[in-house]
Structure 1
Amino acid sequence: MPSDAALENLARIGQLDKVPFSSELMARMLATARSRLIDAQRSDNSAETRFDCAYTAIRAIADAALLAHGYRTSTSKPGHHQTTIQCLSHTLGVSVGVVRVLDALRKQRNLSDYDGESITDQALVECIEQALRLQELAVRRFGGQG
């Protein structure tokens, strides 16, 4: 399914809301991603904080990519983080395999936040690496905004 058609379908079923593009909002989202990624790489922060910062960077980039297409996730529906991540294949051209990795990181974040599960070194490194790759994609796609 072409990207725009997939996003339109998600809007039709209430998973996405149409929104007007805002360069100011885009800049803030990308600035948030950059700031959180810097914090994620600070070794004096705990593993949980670093993971949470890297995950927040991933989400901010995914939200910015949706905004660039005129959408945002419907926060009134459950699973809006999952929808945001899954849309990356349509908004930034991320492979299905990468989307699966990002979704696993989302699940790990939920386990950490809601069940107190510890963040492994492997999960932390993966989350930071994925956030850095997404940031590179966003910079190529959106340029110097933010």
Structure 2
Amino acid sequence: MTLAALDNLVKTGGLKQEPPDQQEFDGMLYAGRRRLQDAQVPGLSEEGQFSLAYGAAHALSLAALRWHGYRSESRYLVFQCLQHTLGLEAGKWRVVDLCHKRRNLTEYEGHLDVPSRLIDELLQVTKEILFLVERLGPVVE
């Protein structure tokens, strides 16, 4: 992990430094776990699965960023920082980034085109993100 890259994003205005907060971290971790669990409920529509899995990935990715003492207003940047906050390899965070683009098409243009294979990949990557976030341990304040 290279936190120097995150410090550079602070300099350019992409991130803000803010002390981590255990209660906030715990809330994001809970939300991520719950959404991931709900995304796997049998019989759920693909749209529902995608929305919940994407929400879980965002909550968990933001938790990792906050654990390190950074905050971002930009969803895509939160995902791109996964390589620095959790050491997630590029191919995996790019799956979540692709899902972010698909989510935007749905939200802003009403166009949902998410193959079931992409949903499966999103679920797998989100499970890995959860595992890595849980391994961070308590916030050091």
Question: Does residue 120 of structure 1 match 2:119?
Answer: no
CA RMSD of aligned residues (A): 1.5
1:82 Cα deviation after fit: 1.0
CA contact (8 A) 2:28 2:59 kept: yes
Aligned pairs, number: 137
**Runs of 4+ in structure 1 displaced over 4 angstroms?**
none
CA contact (8 A) 1:48 1:118 kept: no
Aligned twin of 1:132: 127
Q: Return the TM-score normalized by structure 2.
A: 0.90
1:26 maps to a residue whose letter is F
Give the whole-Å Cα distance in 2 for the aligned partners of 1:34 and 1:60: 9
> 79, 83, 93: which one pairs with 1:89?
83
1:65 maps to a residue whose letter is A
Aligned twin of 1:18: 17
Identical-residue share of aligned pairs (%): 36
Aligned twin of 2:60: 61
User: Deviation per CA, 1:104-145, whole angstroms, max 9, x where unpaired?
Assistant: 1211222232332233211211111111111111122236xx
